[in-house]
Structures are given as structure tokens and as C-alpha cells.
């Protein structure tokens, strides 16, 4: 027997960054309303940077997001560098990659442990788990701290980094700093092993829901697409891959304003696409570090994976990749030695795009500067915006399936909240959000 | 102001912000477990599904007030709380959000939304600190807040101790940690007018202080513009340089003609 009537109104989904609402109305077995709504207060970052000098723009746009501050900083300096034709040294590239991996590890641990895990063990949050699963929670806190220290060592701070500038770092880590970071990462391996066991024990509680979609993420020639690369668009067949230069990002994002949505949506070849760890891993699986592939094997994870709930599993596999790649980069840097550098920055007029992957997906910043280096225009397209239409399409397929499976209101609500959470949305990155009052 | 109970009920709320100050709470690592040992965390939407209808002893509010629709929620939090702490610069001084206040709402809506700017549901007014709407008992400045300072504030409030709010320029803290002055290396810096308490990490990391905690109580706003101009910042830009976090300080002093 299928569900006849249900009304779900989740005002401000919890355990996500930013504010989102779920509205579902089922009457006589028919879906009358099924909406993912974003009422976040808009913040107007593109206006904030207007007229500001180039070397402070990344400090402003970092404040778009507290969780992906490193990513916004990196996309920002890359856009400024592209606009002014600045090149960075290999040492700067390597340090930025370590910084990016640090954020990736940090945010993924936060998401998997603090935001998703409570659902998998039937708890409302990590707080009561501190009493019932003390070891697990302390492990989560240790790993989270490592992520924070890791990014802070390179960036000065993980939330709104200080040391990252267009063309260079304002201060370099010492070789001793890097060595101790490596030791700290190596020392977390037992926690990684235990995390794997924890995930194996709760993996059966991850809903089985399949909806192939288009997956968008960076493809890098150096490694798994994260810090840099071209834009890859994996089609829903899981095989066909289209690529674009970062400068052509508007061909991929095609922003549009939905009449019943609070956010600017994006679309490429289909009515929506997905960004995030699942997209990256679907596009880049063969470039994972061998140790991360072992974790994927141990979790039975295979690509292409069409289940959006598996994003959290993809995040953990990526976190392991980030740990091992960082060790590799530290070894490389220590072999060559850290060299002081002070490249000359020549300010000039121009427009440029920077792209990087933040934990929850591909991020674009585009800026224009005048001949004296003052910002004249900006555009930031954040991954969560790119995922909204895809979340809506998932809802449209999932709700009828939940009705057919005779789920009650509470079960439906949980399934929908878990789906939203699985995307790890970061709604406070609200550069573009509109605010809509819905008529009920 | 002391608290008569051993484990006070603590809640975290957010308005227009990046939620980075909440992230700083999670960045306490295992120290967070110690903090959780002395308070009863009853509401924290980013990390918890639980909510409370009971009276709250200490409410932490992050983010700026940017739209009328949020007024009722703020008043409700005030009515439910014994102590309200505005934490993070968005909440204490309108922070980075106030940068858009340089423009009229027509201007900034047009810059971001272009042809869609007149859609009726696009509501955003001037960014203001939380204290513009409700009474705030304590302010914890910083972008982001210093997580150790936040932990200390919680410990102080739990023990009924009056929290310390730094009221000196950041320059004092650079001297204490023997950081070479940014002006001596050919840079500019907001340190002379900026509120200290952070420990001056930015100049030590090789970048100028942007006054993310706003101004200390006696800033010489005329002088900082002069100092920056002498340091080579173009005169027009020196006037607006401090706006990144201190827009409303300058505005109140009527220093910026727009």
C-alpha cells in the first residue's frame, strides 16, 4: 500500500551550513508540492569587492564561507593572477595543494562525523553521542583538529587564511613545520583505520537511491582534480566526458533564475548537474592515491556511482587521498628545500577566472581590474548553487519512490533531510541568493 | 553578571554570515569536549537537530542584521535568553557585510542580480550589528573569532566572572610579540586604530591588519588616513581603505563623503 497523505515542512534543515527548507505536500497519493527552498539572507559579495585593491580581494571573498574559506581564497587569488597574467612558482603551487588538501580533509571529517554520522546511528546530533560513543567522538575531534592545524600551518588560519596572496605566500612554512605536519598526518593513520571500521558498520544504513545525472568537476594533469585543472562534465551514462577551459566556465554554469527558487540555478547539458566529492570521484577515480583506492575497495565503492547519498563515502575516500598526497608533496618540498621568494607583482588591467574544488564542489571566481589594480567587476559561482537544481530533481524522483514504499511522514522527512545533507550544502556561501516568500 | 546554576544552557544562532565562527567552535578539537563538560548545549542548528523551548542562559549570535524579516527572530532569542553574546564581527560591528553599505541598495542589487534586481522577493537592507536590533550583553569581536577567546568567554560567564574586552590598538600586541611594523617594510596597516585582543596574528603572518575587530574606543581616524597616504597609499584610496571591516566607524565620523 502506498502513502496517501503527507505534509512535510522542515524549516531550516539542521546540520547543514546555511539555511534551507523542505516543503512536501502529498494528497491522495499525489505529489502536490515537493520543493527545496533556500531562504538564506543574501550578502552581495560582488558589490563588496567593487573598487577594492587587488591584494585585499581574497581577504574579502574568503568571508563568503567559513567552511570553504581556503577554497574561496585560492579561487580568488587564481582569478586575480589570471586577470593580471601572474605566474606562481612550483613551490607556491605545491604549498597551495597541501593547503587545499588540508581544507578537504578538515571539511570532510566535519561533514562525515558531525553532520552525517548521527543519521546513520539514529541520533539527533553528535552531542548525545559524546556520552554513548565517546571514543568515536573524541576520534572525530582529533581528526578535525588535525585538519584545522594542517591548513593553518600553510595558510596561517583555516578559517579566513592570512598568508595566501596573489602570486605568492606572505610567509613560508619552515622545513621543520612541514616535517611535523607530516608526522601529525602519519600519526592519524590508526584513526583513519578506525573510521573505516565505523563506516563499514553503518554503511548498511545509507539509503539505496539511484539517479544518474551529469557530474561536473575539475580534471587535473598532475593528480586527482582538486586544486587545479580543466572543467570536466561526465554525462549521465557515466562514460562520456566533455572538457572545457576554466575561462569558458559560463558555458557550463548557464545560471538562470527559477521562478520558484531562492537561488540562481545552473544547468549544462541537462536540467541539472551535480558537483562535489561524488562528481570528482566519478570523474577522477583512477587518479586517487593507491591507499585511497584501498579504502574505496574496503567500502565496496565503485564508479560510476549514481547514488547521491554515497557522497559522504566519497568524501572519506578523498580525505584519505588528501592525507597521502600531502605526505608526497611534503617529501618533494623537503627534498628540494624551502626557498625564500619574492616575485615582482606587476599590476595591470584585465579579466580572469579562477577555479578550484572546495569540499562541496567546483567553485568559480571571475574578476576584472582596472589599470591601477582596482576591482571593477566580480562574479562568484559557488558549488552549492550548482547543486540546488540537482537536489530538486532528486526530490522529484525520490518522493514518489518513498510513497510507493509506503513510508510515513517521519521516514520521508528523514530521507529528504539526509539527501540534502549528503550534498554537504554550504548555503551561507550566499553570493547569489534570492529571498522568496512562498504562498502556501 | 553571575550565573546561579552549574551547567548553564547554551545556544548558538546565526544570521547573515559565513558561519566561520561556528566552525571555530568545532576547531577547538578535543577542547570542545571540555567546554561541553561545563555547559548544556541546547541549540546549535549547524551541528544539531535538537532545539529547545526552555529558557536559555547564554545565547551566542553570529551574523549581521540585514533584513526586516529577521527582526522577530532576534527579539524572540532576546526574550528567551538571560545573556546575549554577539560573537564574530558580523554580529558585533556588521563586519565585512557593511562593505555593501558603501552603495545604495539599488546599486548593490544591480551589481549582483542585474536584470533580476527588481524581483519583489529580493529583500536586503543595510547591514547592521545585532545591537542595532536587540540589547547585547557582551561582544566578542573578530573575523573569525579567536576560538580560545571564545572558550575563555564561556568559562568566564559560567563562573560569573566579568569577561575582559581588549581596548587598545593592535600595535600594542605587535610590539609585545616583536613583530616588525608593516609600515617599516613598505606596507600599510590599520593597526593604529584597530581593536586588539587577537594577539596580532596578521602582521606576524606578513599581511597588514585590516581591523577585523573594528576600532578601539579612541581611534584617530584622521591620522590613520594621513599615515597611510604618507606610506604611499593613493590619497583617495587611503580614505576608504579602512572600510573592509570598519565602514560604519568612518561613516559615523562622517569621514567619507559619498
pLDDT, one tens digit per residue, over B153-176 is: 999 999 999 999 999 999 999 999
Question: Would an 8 Å CB–CB cutoff place A52 in contact with chain B?
Answer: yes
Contact map slice: A 276-315 vs B, CB within 8 A: none
* Residue from B22, B25, B29 whose CB has the most chain A CBs within 10 Å, to mutate: B29
Q: What residues in A contact B26, CB-CB < 8 Å? A: 110, 114, 144
Decide which of A156 and A434 is more confident: A156
- Count the Cβ atoms, other than its own, within 10 Å of residue A393: 18
pLDDT in tens, B191-250: 999 999 999 999 999 999 999 999 999 999 889 999 999 999 999 898 888 888 887 776
> Do A26 and A399 touch, CB atoms closer than 8 A?
yes
**Nearest-by-CA chain A residue for B100:** A48
Across the interface, whether the CB atoms of B49 and A130 are under 8 A apart is answered no
Q: Among B47, B50, B66, whose Cβ lies nearest the Cβ of A114?
A: B47
For A133, the grid coordinates are: 560513543
Element (H, E) at A408: none
SS3 of residue A306 by DSSP: coil
- Cα A50 to the chain's mean position, in Å? 26
Across the interface, whether the CB atoms of A125 and B50 are under 8 A apart is answered yes
Instruction: Work out the minimum CA distance from A303 to partner chain B, whole angstroms.
Output: 30
Q: Among A48, A125, A163, whose Cβ lies nearest the Cβ of B48?
A: A125
How much is the average pLDDT of A329-337? 97
For A370, the grid coordinates are: 582596472
Across the interface, whether the CB atoms of B206 and A171 are under 8 A apart is answered yes
pLDDT in tens, B65-98: 988 889 999 999 999 999 999 999 999 999 999 8
What is the Cα Rg of chain B in Å? 19
Average pLDDT, chain A: 91
pLDDT of A181 > 80? The answer is yes
> Do A107 and A147 touch, CB atoms closer than 8 A?
yes
Of chain B, the end-to-end C-alpha distance in Å amounts to 42
Query: Cell 548557464, residue?
Result: A254
pLDDT in tens, A353-394: 999 999 999 999 999 999 999 999 999 888 888 998 999 999
Query: Cell 508540492, residue?
Result: A33
SS3 of residue A232 by DSSP: strand
* Residue from A159, A172, A381 whose CB has the most chain B CBs within 10 Å, to mutate: A159
The domain ranges of chain A are: 44-386
Across the interface, whether the CB atoms of A12 and B27 are under 8 A apart is answered no
**Nearest-by-CA chain B residue for A169:** B206
* Residue from A10, A40, A48, A384 whose CB has the most chain B CBs within 10 Å, to mutate: A48
CB pairs under 8 A between A and B: 185
Alpha carbons B162 and A115: distance in angstroms, whole number: 34
Decide which of A29 and B204 is more confident: B204
Burial B82-105 (b: 16+ CB within 10 A, else e): bbbbbbbbbbbbbbbbbbbbbbeb
In chain A, what percentage of residues exceed pLDDT 90?
Answer: 73
Asked whether the whole model's pTM tops 0.80, one would answer yes
Q: Among B30, B119, B207, whose Cβ lies nearest the Cβ of A141?
A: B30
Residue A131, pLDDT score: 85
Is the preceding omega at residue B29 within 30 degrees of 0, hence cis? no
Which value does ipTM take for this structure?
Answer: 0.91
Residue A431, pLDDT score: 40
SS3 of residue A104 by DSSP: helix
Q: What residues in B contact A157, CB-CB < 8 Å? A: 144, 201
Counting beta carbons within 10 angstroms of the beta carbon of residue A414, is it exposed (0 to 12), middle (13 to 18) or buried (19 or more)?
A: middle
DSSP chain B: ---SSSS-EEEEEE-BS-SHHHHHHHTTTTHHHHHHHHSEEEEETTTBS----S-EEEEEEESBB--GGGHHHHHHHHHHEEEEEEESHHHHH-GGGGGGGGS-HHHHHHHHHGGGTT-TT------B-GGGTS--SEEE-BTTB-HHHHHHHHHHHHTTPPPP---SBHHHHHHHTTPPPGGGGT---STTTBB--S--HHHHTTS----TT-B-SS--HHHHHHHHHHTT--HHHHHHHTHHHHHHHHHHTT----
Number of C-alpha atoms within 13 angstroms, CB side, residue A316?
A: 28
Fold of the domain built from segment(s) B9-158: Rossmann fold (3.40.50)
Across the interface, whether the CB atoms of B100 and A170 are under 8 A apart is answered no
Residue A303, pLDDT score: 97
Which is nearest to A308 in space by CA: A116, A82, A148?
A116
Across the interface, whether the CB atoms of B112 and A165 are under 8 A apart is answered no
**Nearest-by-CA chain B residue for A256:** B116
pLDDT of A430 > 70? The answer is no
Across the interface, whether the CB atoms of B47 and A15 are under 8 A apart is answered yes
Which is nearest to A60 in space by CA: A378, A383, A424, A403?
A378
pLDDT in tens, A68-112: 999 999 999 999 999 999 999 999 999 999 999 999 999 999 999
Q: How confident is the model at residue A260 (pLDDT cuts 50, 70, 90)?
A: low
Residue A261, pLDDT score: 62
Alpha carbons B203 and A170: distance in angstroms, whole number: 10
Which is nearest to A247 in space by CA: A384, A389, A350, A167?
A350
A186-A188-A191 Cα angle (round to 5): 140
pLDDT in tens, A221-235: 999 999 999 999 999
The domain ranges of chain B are: 9-158, 170-252
Across the interface, whether the CB atoms of A44 and B124 are under 8 A apart is answered yes
How much is the average pLDDT of A30-51? 81
SS3 of residue A413 by DSSP: helix
SS3 of residue A211 by DSSP: coil
pLDDT of A417 > 50? The answer is yes
Q: How confident is the model at residue B148 (pLDDT cuts 50, 70, 90)?
A: very high
Question: Would an 8 Å CB–CB cutoff place A41 in contact with chain B?
Answer: yes
Instruction: Work out the minimum CA distance from B82 to partner chain A, whole angstroms.
Output: 23
Alpha carbons A161 and A27: distance in angstroms, whole number: 50
Which is nearest to B52 in space by CA: B83, B86, B13?
B13
Q: Which residues pair with residue A33 across a beta bridge?
A: A25
Q: What residues in A contact B122, CB-CB < 8 Å? A: 42, 434-435
Alpha carbons A389 and A192: distance in angstroms, whole number: 34
Residue A437, pLDDT score: 28
Query: Cell 542562559, residue?
Result: B57
* φ and ψ of A413, to 5 deg: -60, -45
Counting beta carbons within 10 angstroms of the beta carbon of residue B159, is it exposed (0 to 12), middle (13 to 18) or buried (19 or more)?
A: exposed
Fold of the domain built from segment(s) A44-386: Cytochrome-c3 Hydrogenase; chain B (1.10.645)
Alpha carbons A356 and A72: distance in angstroms, whole number: 8
Instruction: Work out the minimum CA distance from B160 to partner chain A, whole angstroms.
Output: 25
Question: Would an 8 Å CB–CB cutoff place A85 in contact with chain B?
Answer: no
SS3 of residue A68 by DSSP: coil
Across the interface, whether the CB atoms of A142 and B29 are under 8 A apart is answered yes
For B187, the grid coordinates are: 606596507
For B164, the grid coordinates are: 575582559
How much is the average pLDDT of B52-74? 92
> Do A392 and A35 touch, CB atoms closer than 8 A?
yes
Residue B161, pLDDT score: 94
What is the Cα Rg of chain A in Å? 21
Burial A298-334 (b: 16+ CB within 10 A, else e): ebebebbbbbbbbbbbbbbbbbbbbbbbbbebbeebe
Which is nearest to B60 in space by CA: B91, B33, B39, B34?
B91
Amino acid at each position: 500500500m502506498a502513502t496517501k497523505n503527507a505534509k512535510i515542512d522542515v524549516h531550516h534543515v539542521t546540520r547543514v551550513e546555511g539555511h534551507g527548507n523542505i516543503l512536501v505536500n502529498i494528497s491522495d497519493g499525489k505529489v502536490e508540492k515537493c520543493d527545496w527552498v533556500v531562504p538564506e539572507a543574501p550578502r552581495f559579495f560582488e558589490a563588496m569587492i567593487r573598487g577594492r585593491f587587488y591584494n585585499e580581494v581574497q581577504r574579502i571573498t574568503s568571508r563568503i564561507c567559513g567552511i570553504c574559506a581556503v577554497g574561496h581564497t585560492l579561487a580568488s587569488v587564481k582569478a586575480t593572477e589570471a586577470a593580471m597574467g601572474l605566474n606562481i612558482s612550483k613551490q607556491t603551487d605545491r604549498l597551495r595543494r597541501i593547503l587545499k588538501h588540508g581544507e578537504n580533509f578538515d571539511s570532510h571529517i566535519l561533514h562525515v562525523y558531525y553532520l552525517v554520522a548521527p543519521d546513520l546511528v539514529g541520533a539527533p546530533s553528535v552531542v548525545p553521542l559524546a556520552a554513548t560513543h565517546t571514543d568515536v567522538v573524541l576520534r572525530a575531534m582529533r581528526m578535525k583538529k588535525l585538519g584545522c592545524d594542517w591548513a593553518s600551518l600553510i595558510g596561517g588560519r583555516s578559517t579566513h587564511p592570512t598568508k595566501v596572496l596573489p602570486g605568492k605566500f606572505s610567509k613560508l612554512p619552515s622545513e621543520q613545520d612541514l616535517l611535523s605536519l607530516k608526522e601529525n598526518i602519519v600519526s592519524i593513520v590508526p584513526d583513519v583505520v578506525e573510521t573505516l571500521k565505523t563506516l563499514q558498520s553503518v554503511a548498511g544504513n545509507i539509503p539505496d537511491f539511484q539517479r544518474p545525472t551529469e557530474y561536473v568537476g575539475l580534471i587535473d594533469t598532475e593528480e586527482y582534480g582538486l586544486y587545479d585543472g580543466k572543467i570536466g562534465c561526465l554525462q549521465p551514462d557515466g562514460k562520456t566526458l566533455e572538457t572545457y577551459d576554466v575561462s569558458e566556465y559560463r558555458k557550463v554554469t548557464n545560471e538562470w533564475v527559477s521562478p520558484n527558487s531562492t537561488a540562481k540555478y545552473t544547468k549544462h547539458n541537462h536540467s541539472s548537474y551535480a558537483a562535489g566529492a561524488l562528481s570528482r570521484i566519478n570523474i577522477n577515480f583512477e587518479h586517487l592515491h593507491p591507499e585511497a583506492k584501498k579504502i574505496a575497495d574496503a567500502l565496496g565503492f565503485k564508479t560510476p556511482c549514481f547514488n547521491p547519498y554515497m557522497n559522504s563515502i566519497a568524501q572519506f575516500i578523498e580525505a584519505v587521498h588528501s592525507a597521502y598526497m600531502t605526505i608526497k608533496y611534503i617529501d618533494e618540498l623537503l627534498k628540494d628545500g624551502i626557498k625564500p621568494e619574492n616575485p615582482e607583482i606587476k599590476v595591470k588591467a584585465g579579466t580572469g577566472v579562477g577555479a578550484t574544488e572546495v569540499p562541496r564542489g567546483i567553485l568559480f571566481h571571475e574578476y576584472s581590474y582596472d589599470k591601477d589594480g582596482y576591482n571593477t567587476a566580480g562574479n562568484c559561482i559557488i558549488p552549492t548553487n550548482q547543486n540546488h537544481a540537482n537536489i530538486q530533481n532528486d526530490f522529484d524522483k525520490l518522493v514518489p519512490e518513498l510513497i510507493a514504499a509506503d513510508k510515513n511522514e517521519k521516514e520521508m522527512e528523514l530521507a529528504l533531510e539526509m539527501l540534502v545533507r549528503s550534498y554537504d550544502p554550504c548555503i551561507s556561501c550566499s553570493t547569489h541568493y534570492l529571498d522568496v516568500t512562498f504562498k502556501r | 553578571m553571575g550565573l546561579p546554576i552549574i551547567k548553564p544552557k547554551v545556544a548558538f544562532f546565526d544570521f547573515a554570515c559565513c558561519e566561520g565562527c561556528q566552525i571555530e567552535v568545532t576547531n577547538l578539537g578535543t577542547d570542545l569536549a571540555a567546554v561541553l563538560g561545563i555547559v548544556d548545549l541546547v541549540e546549535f542548528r549547524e551541528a544539531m537537530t535538537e532545539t529547545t523551548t526552555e529558557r536559555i542562559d547564554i545565547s551566542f549570535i553570529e551574523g549581521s542584521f540585514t533584513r526586516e524579516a529577521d527582526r522577530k527572530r532576534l527579539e524572540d532569542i532576546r526574550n528567551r535568553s538571560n545573556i546575549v553574546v554577539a560573537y564574530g564581527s558580523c554580529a558585533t560591528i556588521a563586519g565585512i557585510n557593511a562593505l555593501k553599505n558603501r552603495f545604495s541598495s539599488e546599486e548593490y542589487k544591480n551589481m549582483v542580480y542585474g536584470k533580476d534586481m527588481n524581483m519583489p522577493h529580493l529583500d536586503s537592507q543595510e547591514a547592521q550589528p545585532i545591537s542595532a536590533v536587540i540589547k547585547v550583553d557582551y561582544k566578542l569581536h573578530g573575523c573569525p573569532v579567536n576560538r580560545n577567546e571564545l572558550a575563555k568567554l564561556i568559562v568566564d560567564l559560567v563562573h560569573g566572572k566579568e569577561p575582559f574586552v581588549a581596548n587598545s590598538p593592535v600595535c600594542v600586541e605587535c610590539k609585545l610579540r616583536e613583530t616588525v611594523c608593516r609600515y617599516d617594510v613598505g606596507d600599510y596597516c590599520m593597526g593604529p586604530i584597530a581593536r586588539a585582543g587577537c594577539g596580532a596574528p596578521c602582521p606576524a603572518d606578513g599581511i597588514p591588519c585590516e581591523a577585523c575587530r573594528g576600532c578601539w574606543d579612541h581611534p584617530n581616524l584622521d591620522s590613520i588616513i594621513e599615515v597611510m597616504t604618507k606610506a604611499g597609499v593613493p590619497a583617495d584610496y587611503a580614505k576608504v581603505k579602512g572600510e573592509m571591516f570598519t565602514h560604519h566607524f568612518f561613516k559615523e565620523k562622517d569621514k567619507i563623503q559619498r
